[in-house]
Amino acid sequence: MLNTKKNTKAVAALAKKHGAKVVDFRFTDLLGTWQHYTLHIDQLDDGTFASGVGFDGSSIRGFQAIHESDMLLMPDPDTAFIDPLLQVPTLVLICNISDPLTRKFYSRDPRHVGQKAEDHLIKSGIAGSTLWGPEAEFFVFDSVRFENNQNSCFYEIDSVEGIWNSGRDESPNLGYKPRYKEGYFPCPPTDTLMDFRSEVLLKCRSIGIDCFLHHHEVATAGQGEIGVGARALIAAGDQLIAYKYMIKNIARAKNKTVTFMPKPIFGDNGNGMHTHQSLWKGSTNLFYDAKGYAGLSKLALWYVGGLLKHAPALCAICSPTTNSYKRLVPGYEAPVNLAYSKRNRSAAVRIPTYTVSDPKVEARTKRIEYRPPDPSCNPYLAFAALLMAGIDGVQNRIDPGKPVDRDIFEMHGGELARIPQVPGSIEEALTHLEKDSAFLLKGGVFTEDLLEMWISHKRKKEADFVRLRPHPAEFHLYYDC
């Protein structure tokens, strides 16, 4: 099962119990896509865990140059699980990356960056562990088409739930299509995906992913969320990557397609990844103080201060695509306002208050929810960056200011102008990251070469790819100029 303590003998026993024929080594590239490499099961032994498995690092986005391409996959036995979606019985192992010459872990391996962030926290003396609970929203579509050529550009998505299909001849059209911003959360038949989400929840639990709830989300056209339980940073990253893999493949088997793209639909809510986080020493939640604002300790408020101070730079890692900034606009419940508040979803930092009536439960569950991230991010890098910002806030006792316990979306003029906002584009966020990266470099958690590669890739391969192309909406606006 994913993220349960195992040694190499336990991994071998798991493979034998389920009759595994192959072993699949998985890791993320710099941007967060799961990659894999497969061997026959008889190639797996204790030496595999000690020596690793070779692969070509120059063919992976954000990794090596071709003249230094040889790299090693180092499997983590604690991550072993049997993939329930493949016909051939397959043992899966999540890996770190190391250099075959120096035997050191690779500076651009996102999973190792997360491990270094956890180690930096412990060495700081602030806390001994963390908990991370990301809420990765998604859309389930029935089809998607897109193309980019020199003389044409288009996309088209469709869903039987889409309100735009209310007048389509579906032989017959049975109605019950959620209106824009009204998908949260009517029962079936309006919600056509309840069984689908239940199946995902159960299959994820079968491999150790702690899915515990699901529901339709606000948007029309099959937006949903499946709750995943909080775990330590690396375990949370492993869990989220595996969860995205599971839901995409279960959808494909049903002739549907899932996207975690932040803003696939114009005029309706996008996909966020609100990220719950807390710091612990042993069994003590360091974010809790019954006498503090919304039950937060001073340490928690300083942590929030670090998040808010570094939020513009964090956006380059936590909201890392050009499409992210189609979501981060006012009017769609998007967390553009850099403030904190209890119960308040119009602020970038929300302090949940579901359990305040029971102090014992509140002490265990007190946390902050940072709302700007979206699920296009690499979770290992995003969680590591958020933790580093929080540590900086605690170490420098950064005052987050006063809470804003009002609907910020309804504020106007000078009152609203006093509240900082997130960047308006990935280019702006990358510029902030260039100017404000020292907090990430502390303890060698992030490295300059990783940040340089990240910024270069995002500018040249993504921002320029979009910026240099005529947009279909421009023909609507300007063709007759």
156 among known catalytic residues: no
Residue 215 near residue 131, CB atoms below 8 Å = no
pLDDT score, position 379: 98
Tell me the average pLDDT across 200-217: 97
pLDDT at 468 over 80: yes
Tell me the average pLDDT across 60-82: 91
418-459 residue pLDDT tens: 889 999 999 999 999 999 999 999 999 999 999 999 999 999
- Kindly name the residue from 83, 135, 362, 374 that is annotated as catalytic: 135
- Residue-averaged pLDDT of the chain: 95
- Kindly name the residue from 231, 274, 276, 350 that is annotated as catalytic: 274
| CATH architecture of the domain covering 8-106 | Roll (3.10)
Tell me the average pLDDT across 300-316: 98
Domain 287-481 matching CATH 3.40.50.150: the answer reads no
Task: Look at strands 90-98 and 22-28 and give their pairing.
Answer: parallel
- Kindly name the residue from 76, 78, 225, 374 that is annotated as catalytic: 225
337-388 residue pLDDT tens: 999 999 777 889 999 987 777 888 989 999 999 999 999 999 999 999 999 9
369 among known catalytic residues: yes
**What is the chain's alpha carbon radius of gyration, rounded to the nearest angstrom?**
23
Tell me the average pLDDT across 186-196: 97
371 among known catalytic residues: yes
199 among known catalytic residues: no
Q: CB neighbours of 417 closer than 8 A, spacing ≥ 6? A: none
pLDDT score, position 217: 97
427 among known catalytic residues: no
pLDDT band at 406 (very low <50, low <70, confident <90, very high): confident
Measured CA to CA, the distance from residue 257 to residue 13 in angstroms comes to 35
- 8-106 and 138-271 agree in CATH topology: no
56 among known catalytic residues: yes
Task: Locate the domains of the chain by residue range.
Answer: 8-106, 138-271, 287-481
pLDDT score, position 409: 76
- Kindly name the residue from 78, 137, 161, 210 that is annotated as catalytic: 137
434 among known catalytic residues: no
pLDDT score, position 359: 86
Residue 333: which of 386, 277, 371 has the closest Cα?
371
182 among known catalytic residues: no
- Kindly name the residue from 56, 70, 195, 474 that is annotated as catalytic: 56
pLDDT score, position 67: 80
pLDDT score, position 2: 83
Domain 138-271 matching CATH 3.30.1060.10: the answer reads no
243-279 residue pLDDT tens: 999 999 999 999 999 999 999 999 999 999 999 999 9
345 among known catalytic residues: yes
pLDDT at 333 over 90: no
What is the reported pTM? 0.96
Measured CA to CA, the distance from residue 258 to residue 195 in angstroms comes to 15
Residue 379 near residue 387, CB atoms below 8 Å = no
pLDDT score, position 373: 98
pLDDT score, position 117: 98
Residue 184 near residue 217, CB atoms below 8 Å = yes
Measured CA to CA, the distance from residue 287 to residue 285 in angstroms comes to 5
